[in-house]
Chain A
Amino acid sequence: MITTTIISSLASIVGNENLFTSIEDKITYSYDGTPLHSRLPEAIVRPKTKEQISEVLKLANREKFAVVPRGTGTGLSGGSIPVEDCVIVDMSQWNRIIEIDPENLTAWVEPGVITSQLHLEVERIGLFYPPDPGSMNICTIGGNVAENSGGLRGLKYGVTKNYVMGLEVVLPNGDIISCGGKAVKDVAGYNLKDLFIGSEGTLGIFTKILLKLIPKPQTSKTMVAYFNTQSDAGRTVSSIISQKIIPCTVEFLDKTTIRCVEDFAKIGLPTDIESLLLLEVDGHPSVVEEEAQKVVECCKQNNAVEVKIAESVEDAMKLKTARRSAFSALARSRPTTILEDITVPRSSIATMLEKIDAISKKYDVLIGTFGHAGDGNLHPTCLTDERNHEEIARAEKAYEEIFIEAVKLGGTITGEHGTGLAKKKFLHLVTGYTAIDTMRTIKKALDPNNVLNPGKVFDMH
């Protein structure tokens, strides 16, 4: 239980003005972007220094209460949702870009920097930070590292983990460590840095992050291809890659998603087609020209009804912005959207799409699918109403089957959103029980009292 004594201790660590305990604050820190989960925290703190974070964690160990780190709460697996008897550590105000180093192509940032803010700053000087999750205008770099988030440019440029060079972390026991650095090669000791990437706030709280930057691609070309069947779009993806072209973006949208997106963005997408691919190639102008041509041919060979090339940067931007709204736009048709994040080998995209279709029919639930097709990462999204418990139960059954199919195809239950609360009961499908035990051993070694984001990813028993 979090007693009033604990609350006053917290106040003396962070200061009264950085401690929120009002019921209105508690209600509004009870959720993230994940459907169907929520719980009130006991308090919210906004520590100003790493020492304060360390003090909060030491107090948590002494008094046995839980601490949940939070960025801006856009997570889709419940990573920052409160647990029993917990204090939220709100990191969103740690929003300084500390240094951009053009000689070493690195940036030191605080974890609360908004992802698109960093894009803007580095692009101003001709540099590039590729990870661009759909939520980039509001999610934090800290959250991105904790979830190892992907984005629209993942196919060519990889995900967040490919850009983290160093971390400053407050460990669950309050110790502060640094790992990694500006040296591009570094094999001194265990690679602790990678342990923290994707740790979903369970192994430490980041206070500083060193990111790798690359030169900004000179130019890019954005295309959209329409298809009469989902499988044609799926096959196009594999066929583009087998041509040895790596576009930076290959995004898939099915009919339901296209309709919702068009309803919101009004950019003139046809609403009578079965699916579309949003494609982008970037790099040196002459290469871009040639690759764009090949991509268009590939689409046509796979029965694309039409392929359009965005005429201006603004048009390209509109298409990508529309794609980023896909998940939320789906909520236009039904109030509750439960989205999943399966990933299969690229060659199995078409098969997976067919399976999703069949499963949605079997359980009589409406599923809209979109995703980072180039990465094999699909977001089948069940459109339902949380007030209809019977339908929700059917949706959960459908998901279980989708997970099993994805794993059978050599894939995984989550490609970028994390396990968190929402998917922990399915984790063993991918990792097996022994691996989960190994994870528990690591967690126990770093967090013997289980104070930091307990019960996320897996339970300790």
Chain B
Amino acid sequence: MLHTARTHDDRNTVFMNPNISNFNGIDIPSDDVLTNCMHCGLCLPVCPTFAITGREKSSPRGRIRLIKAVAEGTLEMTEGFVDEMNFCLDCQACETACPAGVKYGSLVESVRNQMRIQGKESTTALTLKWIFLRNVVSKKYLLKLVARTLGIYQSSGLERLVKKSYVIKKLAPKLSKLQELSPRIDGRFFDDIYPEIVTPTVVPKYRVGFLSGCIMNVAFAKINEDTVKVLLHHDCEVIIPKDQVCCGSLQAHNGDFDIARTLAKKNIDVFLKYDLDAIVMNSAGCGALMKEYGHYLHDDLLYAKKAEILSSKVKDISEFLFEIGLKKPVKEYCHRVSYHDACHLVHAQKVSKQPRELIRSIPGIEYVELNEASWCCGSAGTYNIIRHEDSMIILDRKIENVKIADAEFLVANNPGCLTQIEYGCANNHIKTKVIHLATLLRDVYEL
């Protein structure tokens, strides 16, 4: 006989003699989560990267196995490993699909943290990611400065020149994409317009905190304004603490936990000064992270409890409005509207029913469900810049579905999705306007 397959008794030869884990420190992928994956494969059909390569290593099940191998010391953090971890969008569609309840997101985020502290990142990714996330976004004044420069640049006509410039495209393709996919910088920043406490004209029924966000603040000031207007219309007193900071989501999803924790503590102090009914979010990524403050700070003596309290108050605007009930609009709003699920809303926060119900409930609206609505658009934080080509393949699939839906408005509750899908629509000459729920509602109520 030539070959014998191994039976139970001689199983695991390859994983025998577990060496020492190739992860180190405190923020390592949890052994329990790794063992929890029973490699059934039910998550494969929802994974956008697996859909591209069909290769097991680009699937959630494959990635979990790779992480396990590194944890068991049978695999080094090889270049191939690092590449797969960066190829992953961290969209967490696999988490929603997994009947076993495997917390995949926590695994990949810990791995990215390990890659950073062990210096396993590629130089391009490093420069782009860490300079941007560690320095610019998390320091408000710097972000404003960069944004101002970018703003002047975008409005000066220089942009068109540079866009066409062969030299830039050739020399720094990634940077040229950074530019195209960067959110449009608003003329005025949101937190320069509004005071810390904004009161409605009637006696307020609710008192809500509002995270103005870092990117939202400088690039989506209009959406922030829309959000505040809609909240005021629903009898909310809106508190926008002046010294709030970036929520830390971009950093945490890229595995930079130290910075994320520091930012979290600051926000906890700032928001818990007030007695709030809710903290309303209009960015899915921020909401997802702030709901996890409790988890990130669970072993911090001083902050664990406070973090829990803060997290329990965090609500996406659609969740909050669904709970308190939408006011009846005066006029019918006769438009065809569709909805795209932001990953960090549907998968990370499991919010998908509320925004749809809200839209459907508006008199006059013809609601059309988007095919594969919860399939990632490829924006994924900084993914569309760092892994531009992959991101565009993923975007194409979304755009195909947007075409089929043929709606006038596509609602998405996350700045990243808005920029990305808008970019795709523009490139494909699709007339659908991509807007935030708050913007839609402001239009509905003519505020």
Contacts and interface: CB of A to CB of B under 8 A. Distances in A.
Contacts of B57: 24-25, 27-28
B81 A24 contact: yes
B11 A38 contact: yes
Interface in A322-368: 325-332, 335-337
A135 B80 contact: no
A294 interface: no
Interface stretch (A66-74, A189-197, A306-314): A66-74
A51 interface: no
Given A31-B39, A73-B56, A331-B36, A23 B2 contact: no
Interface in A216-275: 260-261, 263-265
A135 B42 contact: yes
Contact of B101 (A40, A64, A326, A332): A332
A329 B99 CA distance: 4
A31 B40 CA distance: 10
Contact of A28 (B11, B54, B65): B65
A83 B11 CA distance: 11
Contact of A74 (B7, B40, B74, B81): B40
Contact of B75 (A27, A33, A424): A27
A242 B288 CA distance: 54
Nearest to B68: A27
A27 B101 CA distance: 23
Contacts, number: 156
A460 interface: yes
B4 A24 contact: no
A336 B42 CA distance: 16
Contact of B40 (A81, A86, A328): A328
Given A264-B101, A328-B99, A331-B100, A33 B40 contact: yes
Interface string B21-41: 000000000001001111111
B62 interface: yes
B13 A39 contact: yes
Given A24-B78, A27-B75, A461 B32 contact: no
B301 interface: no
A451 interface: yes
Nearest to A461: B1
B41 A33 contact: yes
Contacts of B84: 24
B65 A31 contact: yes
Interface string A14-51: 00000010111101111111011111100000000000
A153 to B, nearest CB: 19
Contact of A24 (B15, B42, B44, B80): B80
A327 B41 CA distance: 12
Contacts of B41: 33, 72-74, 135, 138-139
A327 B38 CA distance: 10
B40 A421 contact: no
Given A28-B57, A460-B1, A328 B38 contact: yes
B327 interface: no
Nearest to A75: B41
Contacts of A38: 11-12, 14-15
B201 to A, nearest CB: 40
B326 interface: no
A459 interface: yes
Interface of B: 1-8, 11-15, 32, 35-42, 44-45, 54-57, 59, 61-62, 65-66, 69, 74-75, 78, 80-81, 84, 98-101
6 contacts: A28-B61, A28-B62, A330-B100, A331-B40, A449-B2, A451-B3
